[in-house]
Structure 1
Amino acid sequence: LAVLLTSHSMLPCGYAKCVMHLPICFFSGKPELKSEVDIIVADVGEPDSLAAMCKQGVIVLNCVGPYRFYGENVVKACVENGAHYIDICGEPQFLEGMQLNYHSQAAEKGVYVVGSCGFDSIPADMGVLYSRDQFKGTLTAIESFLTVSSGSEGSCIHDGTWQSAIYGFADSEKLRSLRKKLGYAPLPVVGSKIKKRGTLFYSREMDQYAAPFMGADPSVVKRTQRYLYEERKDSPVQYGAYAGIGGMTSVIKLLFGAMLFWLMVNFSFGRSLLIKFPEFFSFGWFSKAGPTRKQMAESSFCLTFFGEGYTGDQDPAQGKPNAKIRTQVKGPGYVATPIAMVQAAFTILHEPKSLPKTGGVYTPGAAFAKTTLIDRLNKHGIQFSVLSGPEA
């Protein structure tokens, strides 16, 4: 992230306009920055230090998670001190909690708080909007399928994501309570209702087994669709998110790992073991060290969208969908997150007139629907494209 920011030629008025909130140790491993940067020491447990940090920047990029423990004080400091805020959170409880607690205050201050601006959930959220905009008619439903590729050393993810998943499952009841406080009304179903897939199924579209995607994408996309429907009267798009698993061997590994995870995550002792030994219990997918540079360089992702809807001359209230579209978002694996985060930050800095009229707590799709964020991502290695359709 530091490398991407310091090498960007469009950073207005110097690097001090953007402040990153990261662990200081990050810089020790990658010293070859293209320009000198100052380090501001800010502790999430010291509000005064956070306030001082926020006063020195226009926008704060918060990379310190799990956000349920370390995020709210940063959001609060940004809102109170007039700095815009972006994070890469994949925790629905935190994201929706910030909307409940800070949206009104952020709107009054003119501060934009945009969560989930990394791999969770810019590809999915902006991918749905891209598909909708490319569709000739009314897009009513879309499913996404995620596949991840790795090189000779395999894949690995930092255990911060693992911890977020552990606490997310453990606190699922709190998320349900939070949503009751938000008072969500059901979105209208336009056209045929999307069919729910099973917990494990064979996807003919992807020619492999698949399962529901357990990240923040469904929550984020639904919040975006709610905002666009309520604020702009856009027709809401139904959404289902899935992840490709592979063949039967991968399915067996997943089932065994999922059962073990579920048994342990419901007890404090089990959670402590999961957190202490992430590499063992995740079969190497997560580790405290995170990925090597080679793993980061060789990993990639592909998010394929299958949408359906109605052409302009067809009434969505009458009959089945008569048109389809297939789109794709693909890019580098691990480094897609800093790319997306940095481009989201520059979009806020350079396109304030294209953002929602008032500040507030937004999803990426709600904040950036009318901006050139997708064009920016295309130029920096995260590619959006139409594979087929729209066709009747």
Structure 2
Amino acid sequence: MADKKFDIIVYGATSFVGQIITRYMHTQFADGSIVWAIAGRSRTKLQQVSDTIGLSGIEMIVADSADEGSLRQMCAQTKVVMSTVGPYALYGDVLVRVCATTGTDYCDLTGEPQWIRKMQLRHEADAAKSGARIVHCCGFDSIPSDLGVHFLQRNALEQFGQTCGRINMRVANMKGGASGGTIASMINMVKEAVSDADLRRELKDPYSLCPPDHGFFVPQPDVQIAYDNAYGGWIAPFVMAGINTRIVHRSNALSHNNYGAEFTYEEAVATGQGAKGKRMARVTSWGVNALMIGLAVPPIRWLLENFVLPKPGEGPSEKAQLEGGFDIVFLGSTAQGETIRCRVTGDRDPGYGSTAKMLSQAAACLAKDVPDTVAGGFWTPATILGDRLIDRLKAHAGLTFEKLS
């Protein structure tokens, strides 16, 4: 791919998160270390973004998510396409197909497991043949989870000579509003599941994103309201666990069961201690359950979409993004009862500020750090980017990865 004009094309640069990414790319790669361009379906809107940010010398490419010809012309010019155009189940199919057949590396922000599985089934063989490396879930879902587990397991191997057979992730603190794009993806997934019994069964399978021959059969934890003695506080279900846990299990499968054939992994929100922590756990659990039930009932879904939930293109102010952040803790244990704790933090709100930096650095890592000899196919952030991306995130994206005493 040495003859490509660009290292990265930001596809969907006019979207809310796309503009944040474009601004970050403009600042981060002002030294010319990454040659990049912006793309979208409207030249007028691309020009507005360019003028607002001051993208002198950054080219604009017009390409529509439904126009395969324009997407092929775009992919012919770049090593990596970074896509923000979601919900991906509605707008992402053609671009993944084009990348998989043309050998163009690809990364995105999706948190839609049903769509990822569909893309794997349809395009894995093409990507392997062409050499395209496809990497989904390069935002808050699921880089902190996937790389956090990877980081803990590397430290466990160094400390104990073996990886941990069980890891529990706890969201210790998270400040930031839900992404309108993420909400739209959730709504679309619920709509699909309501009318598709096979999809409902698939969404209950913790190994649905693993290769067909994964061989994992261990039941995974079903997080409910509980007191977690190991962490020292009450916990409740975490709304992003559905995608994050599946990506972590796929990483285990792709790394030849490096975490163990009986590896178990769960994610939960830590709500505090005592009666107050228990009350907060109940409120959190009820909130998550009420949201999912509401999205499944058409009249309630209409009310939520139109009057309550953020819409695609909507998001927090720059001030709110700067004031956001996240702090998550991983607790690992080996079969012999040895324990280890690690922590991952981010300095911006998860859904926008931190996600924009994570996706940008994932694309840069794909373009610059991953050898061309790495095979094509559908990877996870941990299995293809791993320590290379951790280094980039620590140096340039405001994330920390640390082993706790």
Give the TM-score band, short-chain normalised: 0.7 to 0.9
Using the TM superposition, give the Cα deviation of residue 90 of structure 1 relative to its aligned residue in structure 2, in angstroms: 0.9
Q: Structure 2: which amino acid aligns with 1:330?
A: T
Superposition map of 1:332-371 within 5 A: 332-333=348-349, 334-353=352-371, 357-369=374-386, 371=387
Using the TM superposition, give the Cα deviation of residue 145 of structure 1 relative to its aligned residue in structure 2, in angstroms: 0.8
Structure 1 residues 144 and 255, CA, compared in 2 at 3 Å: closer, same or farther? Answer: closer
Q: Does 1:228 align with 2:255?
A: yes
**Distance (Å, rounded) in 1 between the aligned partners of 2:117 and 2:31:** 32
**Distance (Å, rounded) in 2 between the aligned partners of 1:201 and 1:27:** 52
- How many residues end up aligned between the 2 structures? 359
Q: Is the 8 A contact 1:21 1:62 kept in 2?
A: no
- Residue 326 of structure 2 is aligned with which of 289, 296, 301? 301
TM-score relative to the length of structure 1: 0.81
Write out per-residue CA displacement over residues 271-298 of structure 1, whole angstroms, 9 at most, x where no aligned residue.
333322333xxxxx88862111111000
**Distance (Å, rounded) in 2 between the aligned partners of 1:227 and 1:338:** 26
Structure 1 residues 211 and 181, CA, compared in 2 at 3 Å: closer, same or farther? Answer: closer
**Distance (Å, rounded) in 2 between the aligned partners of 1:149 and 1:209:** 16
**Distance (Å, rounded) in 2 between the aligned partners of 1:240 and 1:2:** 34
Q: Is the 8 A contact 2:61 2:74 kept in 1?
A: yes
User: Which sits farther off after the overlay, 285-294 or 98-107?
Assistant: 285-294
- Residue 113 of structure 1 is aligned with which of 118, 131, 134? 134
Using the TM superposition, give the Cα deviation of residue 256 of structure 1 relative to its aligned residue in structure 2, in angstroms: 4.6
Structure 1 residues 168 and 185, CA, compared in 2 at 3 Å: closer, same or farther? Answer: same
Q: Does 1:382 align with 2:382?
A: no
Q: Does 1:243 align with 2:263?
A: no
Write out per-residue CA displacement over residues 131-182 of structure 1, whole angstroms, 9 at most, x where no aligned residue.
01111222211111113344xxxx3223211122223344444163594996
Q: Does 1:274 align with 2:304?
A: yes
Listed as ranges, the gaps of 5+ residues in structure 1 are 280-284, 310-319
Using the TM superposition, give the Cα deviation of residue 114 of structure 1 relative to its aligned residue in structure 2, in angstroms: 0.4
Structure 1 residues 252 and 201, CA, compared in 2 at 3 Å: closer, same or farther? Answer: closer
Structure 1 residues 245 and 29, CA, compared in 2 at 3 Å: closer, same or farther? Answer: farther
User: Which sits farther off after the overlay, 205-214 or 77-86?
Assistant: 205-214
Structure 1 residues 11 and 187, CA, compared in 2 at 3 Å: closer, same or farther? Answer: farther
**Distance (Å, rounded) in 2 between the aligned partners of 1:181 and 1:344:** 21
Q: Does 1:183 align with 2:212?
A: yes
1:209 counterpart SS class? strand
Match of 2:92 in 1: 71
TM-score relative to the length of structure 2: 0.79
User: Which sits farther off after the overlay, 55-64 or 292-301?
Assistant: 55-64
**Distance (Å, rounded) in 2 between the aligned partners of 1:364 and 1:345:** 11
Structure 1 residues 219 and 342, CA, compared in 2 at 3 Å: closer, same or farther? Answer: same
Q: Does 1:100 align with 2:113?
A: no
Using the TM superposition, give the Cα deviation of residue 42 of structure 1 relative to its aligned residue in structure 2, in angstroms: 1.5
Q: Is the 8 A contact 1:156 1:291 kept in 2?
A: yes
Q: Does 1:217 align with 2:238?
A: no
Q: Is the 8 A contact 1:100 1:182 kept in 2?
A: no
Using the TM superposition, give the Cα deviation of residue 52 of structure 1 relative to its aligned residue in structure 2, in angstroms: 1.8
Q: Is the 8 A contact 2:305 2:311 kept in 1?
A: no
Using the TM superposition, give the Cα deviation of residue 224 of structure 1 relative to its aligned residue in structure 2, in angstroms: 0.7
Q: Is the 8 A contact 1:21 1:60 kept in 2?
A: no
Listed as ranges, the gaps of 5+ residues in structure 2 are 1-20
Q: Is the 8 A contact 2:370 2:385 kept in 1?
A: no
Write out per-residue CA displacement over residues 322-346 of structure 1, whole angstroms, 9 at most, x where no aligned residue.
3110000101223111111111111
Match of 1:81 in 2: 102
**Distance (Å, rounded) in 1 between the aligned partners of 2:47 and 2:345:** 28
- Residue 290 of structure 2 is aligned with which of 252, 260, 265? 260
Using the TM superposition, give the Cα deviation of residue 48 of structure 1 relative to its aligned residue in structure 2, in angstroms: 1.5
- Residue 321 of structure 1 is aligned with which of 336, 341, 366? 336
- The Cα RMSD (Å) is 3.0
Identity of counterpart residues, as a percentage? 27
**Distance (Å, rounded) in 2 between the aligned partners of 1:148 and 1:356:** 39
Structure 1 residues 327 and 175, CA, compared in 2 at 3 Å: closer, same or farther? Answer: same
